[in-house]
Amino acid sequence: MSNGSSAGRRRVAGIARRCWPIVLAALALAGCGTSRPAQVHGYELVSAQTFPFYRIYWVGPNFGGLPLSAVDGLSGYISSVGDSVYYGNCVQSKGIFGGGSCRLPLQVTTVVYHRHSNQPLGPQRNILVRGVPAVVYDGGRSIELYSGHVAIDVFSDTFEHALRGSQQLYPVNAPGSNRGSLPLPVYCPGVWGPVGLEEARVLANLPNHVCQKALKEVEFQESIKRSGSTSP
């Protein structure tokens, strides 16, 4: 389960984050389609397997017996929203961000991370999944993992599906495995709320001490604001 200057979190998602409670409420009220699409064509899967910009993640050709039902690949790529793979009996457009008509058993969206605070996600809890920081939100139905230069959003219909999907992730367009730890993020995730000892240890030991540097930058900006407010 990202904000920032290039489009404002998931760039389209900068708006989505601010409107998150409304979006989630709308999705909760939406019904799910009953049609079951065929498995994706080979050329569609190739478009994901040859995606050139960064690693995009999936859980393989099926999830819990449900086939991969759609992929974005390069032709469906929106840089501000990311690239998605979809499993299940209906296909929504970019999941939570696209106003889809149903909750899929699993959708995995990978997007380049832009720093933001997770506070607008509402009730949430910070955990580790596959050795990397992650946040559970949307009543447990969504999990955002932080890895490499990307955020991996796992959208689902239940916490069990979201967690299982998160634990089975591996790249569709690069070598990788669904076992072991994912690559640590090279940025400091904008986690919000309580952080456990294990999560804190991982955050404190990210490459190049990025979280310590981010904290110092925040403190520096706050000191400038304070000095400005006290100037005559």
- pLDDT at residue number 26: 32
**What is the overall mean pLDDT for the chain?**
80
pLDDT bucket at 13, cuts 50 / 70 / 90: very low
Q: Are strands 83-87 and 66-71 parallel, antiparallel or unpaired?
A: antiparallel
The pLDDT tens digits for 115-152 are 999 999 999 999 999 999 999 999 999 999 999 999 99
pLDDT bucket at 220, cuts 50 / 70 / 90: low
pLDDT at 7 over 80: no
- pLDDT at residue number 224: 74
- pLDDT mean over 173-200: 96
User: Could you report how far apart the first and last alpha carbons of the chain are, in Å?
Assistant: 46
Top mean pLDDT of 28-42, 68-82, 167-181, 204-218 is at: 167-181
What is the spatial distance between Cα 78 and Cα 172, in angstroms, rounded to a whole number?
A: 18
Domain-by-domain residue ranges, the chain?
13-195
- pLDDT at residue number 228: 65
pLDDT bucket at 204, cuts 50 / 70 / 90: very high
The pLDDT tens digits for 58-110 are 999 999 988 898 899 998 899 999 999 999 865 544 444 444 456 789 999 99
Q: What is the 3-state secondary structure (H, E, C) of 163-221?
A: HHHHHCCEECCCCCCCCCCCCCECCCCCCCCCCCHHHHHHHHCCHHHHHHHHHHHHHHH
- pLDDT at residue number 17: 38
